[in-house]
Amino acid sequence: MDPVVQIFLAGSLILILLLVTTTTVASVEQKADNNTLGMPINSPAYPVPPYQFTDREYFIITYETDPAALEKVVPYPLKVVEPIVKYEFIRMPDSSGLGDYTESGQVIPVEFNGTKGLFLLSMYLDNEPAILAGREIWGFPKKYGLPSLGVDPVSKDTLVGRLYYGELEVARGTMGYKWQTLPTDDIKESLENTPNYLIKIIPDVDGSLKIHQLVSYHLSNVTVKGAWTGPTDLELFRHALAPVADLPVKKVLSGVHFVSDLTLLPGTVEYDYQT
């Protein structure tokens, strides 16, 4: 073959390889930037929010606890308003992008810059995409657990919420099933207008702290389909890795059970602990 032709073909081959490589890298970068928030980049664990929840069922037990114990777990610049905790069992059978799961944990009424809100201390659930999306995007304090919510299959007259961590029960809430109907307007207003606060902590690749933020989020498009109350009780059991009993139950104040549709909106950074 003519040497000039050989040089031309070799140069063309190198150019083609460079174009293919550049296009492939650009394609991967574009895919990671535009279409995914999680890993692996070719099959992310969750889609881009917002997320829509249909027939989301709540059982919330409000109780009085030890003020000193609350002060230990509520971070600056949030302020404890009163020695109150809301223990939640939440059934989510239809969550866009995340699927079907149940969640349980503790929420603390707080104040931030003069506005009352809720600080989410702990959340235990049985769904990997929801755990990963919640922790990585907003900073939800999610860990894997085994919560449940439903009517007692034996007595058939009691709403029962349970949380197991491994094989051990760490929380149990009970309520007389739909003893009294509640108005839904106040619940809807509270869900839509109350700011919710999270502490987002993400480490860097060397194990040092990369992100440490106070994050707020809101709910929207809320429809409350029904709400009820009844005689309510709550028991918490001590566990080293699911320490819900560190905020002990001194007195149960109220219980509410309701079903709603809603949208979980993206969050806002309210305070950066590293600046």
Element (H, E) at 65: none
Kindly report the backbone phi and psi dihedral angles of residue 218, in degrees, each rounded to the nearest multiple of 5, phi listed first: -130, 165
Q: Would you say the pTM of this structure is higher than 0.85?
A: yes
Q: Are 30 and 58 in a shared domain?
A: no
pLDDT of residue 1: 55
Residue 214 · residue 77 · CB < 8 Å: yes
Q: Per residue in 40-86, pLDDT tens?
A: 999 999 999 999 999 999 999 999 999 999 999 999 999 999 999 99
Q: Is the dihedral of CA 24, 35, 270, 108 positive or negative?
A: negative
CATH number, position 84: 2.40.400.10
Half-sphere exposure of 137 (CA within 13 A, CB side): 22
What pLDDT was estimated at residue 179? 98
Same domain, 26 and 119: no
pLDDT of 9 > 60? The answer is no
Query: Do 136 and 16 belong together in one domain?
Result: no
Q: What is the C-alpha to C-alpha distance for residues 264 and 220, in angstroms, rounded to an integer? A: 7
Split at pLDDT 50, 70, 90, the class of 36 is low
215-233 burial: b if 16+ Cβ within 10 Å, else e? bbbbbeebebeebbbbebe
Residues 130 and 207 in one domain: yes
The residues with which 259 forms a beta bridge, in sequence order, are: 57, 226
57 and 230 Cβ atoms separated by less than 8 Å? no
The verdict on 27 and 157 lying in the same domain is no
Q: Token pair 């059982």 is at which residue?
A: 59
Write the Ramachandran bin of 33: left for phi over 0, alpha for psi from -120 to 50, otherwise beta: alpha
Q: Are 73 and 187 within one domain?
A: yes
* Cα distance between residue 126 and residue 104, in whole Å: 10
Indicate if the pLDDT at residue 18 is higher than 50: no
pLDDT at residue 37 is higher than 90? no
Residue where the block lists tokens 């085994």: 146
* Alpha-carbon separation of residue 128 from 9, 106, 171, 261 (angstroms): 52, 20, 21, 22
Q: Kindly state whether residues 10 and 78 are assigned to the same domain.
A: no
Residue 110 lies in a domain: yes
Asked whether residue 115 falls in the same domain as residue 229, the answer is yes
Q: How many structural domains are present in the chain?
A: 2
Active site amino acids: 142
pLDDT at position 228, please?
Answer: 98
Q: Which domain does 6 fall in, by range? A: 1-35
Residues 121 and 213 in one domain: yes
pLDDT category at 12 given cuts 50, 70, 90 is: low
Confidence of residue 252 (pLDDT cuts 50, 70, 90): very high
Average pLDDT over residues 190-208: 97
Asked if the model's pLDDT at residue 143 lies above 90, the reply is yes
Q: Which residue has 């150019």 as its token pair?
A: 15
Q: pLDDT band for position 8 (50/70/90)? A: very low
Kindly report the CA angle at 196 between 193 and 198, in degrees rounded to 5? 165
pLDDT class for 26, splitting at 50, 70, 90? very low
**Residue 24 scores a pLDDT above 70:** no
DSSP string, 159-214: EEEEEEETTEEEEEEEEETT-EE--SHHHHHHHHHS-EEEEEEEE-TTSSEEEEEE
